Chains A and B, each alone.
Chain A
């Protein structure tokens, strides 16, 4: 069974700090997606990474896909309260081609 381990599970930081969220697996994924979910809403896609070693930037967010396509990271620079939410990674390659989700990282950024 393919699993995606996300860490840390919880993160509480002050505005302006940097942080990194990790998503690791022993399995290879053809692609990996990152979603953000705000309280009371469904997850919304942030980015998809496809190529091993790929780095994508979305303003203050930097996403990296591991060379072996088994892991990924999300780095946020100078976090803001608006970054607060649940961050989910999801790998393509589960049963019948469906996505496998990590359990999420709950981020709280205090002003």
Chain B
């Protein structure tokens, strides 16, 4: 089975801190995605990547950046965390086109105080 691993399940950070969320997939998938999930708002796409060193903005990229130095790893970076970035962050991957079935990680719940 494809596995998407988010190493940090729960994080508590202070306003202004730099935050790294790491995601690794083990099935050689081309595409990787970062979503945030908030009650009443559903899943919103932050950034995605179709290839190494390649990134595309999703629907809500403001306040975030990403890094994909290796095919299996996609990192989400909050340069200066703010309280409105408190959320559940979900990483996902799929094999080729963006509309293919997504395999999700278990999520990283971030609280910014």
Residues of A within 8 A of B (CB): 9, 30-31, 33, 40-45, 48, 88, 90, 92-99, 101-104
Whether A42 pairs with B42 at a CB distance below 8 angstroms is: no
Chain A residue nearest to B4 (CB atoms) is A42
Contact A99 to B99, CB < 8 A, known contacts A42-B90, A88-B42, A104-B42: yes
Interface size, B (range): 20 to 34
**Which among A9, A30, A40, A42 is the interface contact of B99 at CB below 8 angstroms?**
A30
Which of B14-22, B62-70, B73-81, B104-112 has 4 or more CB atoms under 8 Å from chain A?
B104-112
Whether B106 pairs with A40 at a CB distance below 8 angstroms is: yes
**Which residues of chain A come closer than 8 Å to B4, judged between CB atoms?**
42
**Which residues of chain A come closer than 8 Å to B40, judged between CB atoms?**
9, 103
Cα distance A99–B102 in the bound complex, in angstroms? 9
Chain B residue nearest to A106 (CB atoms) is B39
Cα distance A96–B105 in the bound complex, in angstroms? 22
Chain B residue nearest to A47 (CB atoms) is B101
Whether B99 pairs with A31 at a CB distance below 8 angstroms is: yes
Q: Taking the nearest CB of chain A, how far is it from the CB of B81, in angstroms? A: 22
Could you write out 8 A-B pairs with CB less than 8 Å apart? A30-B99, A40-B106, A42-B104, A92-B99, A93-B99, A95-B59, A98-B99, A99-B102
Contact A98 to B101, CB < 8 A, known contacts A103-B40, A103-B41, A103-B42: no
Contact A97 to B43, CB < 8 A, known contacts A40-B107, A42-B105, A44-B104: no
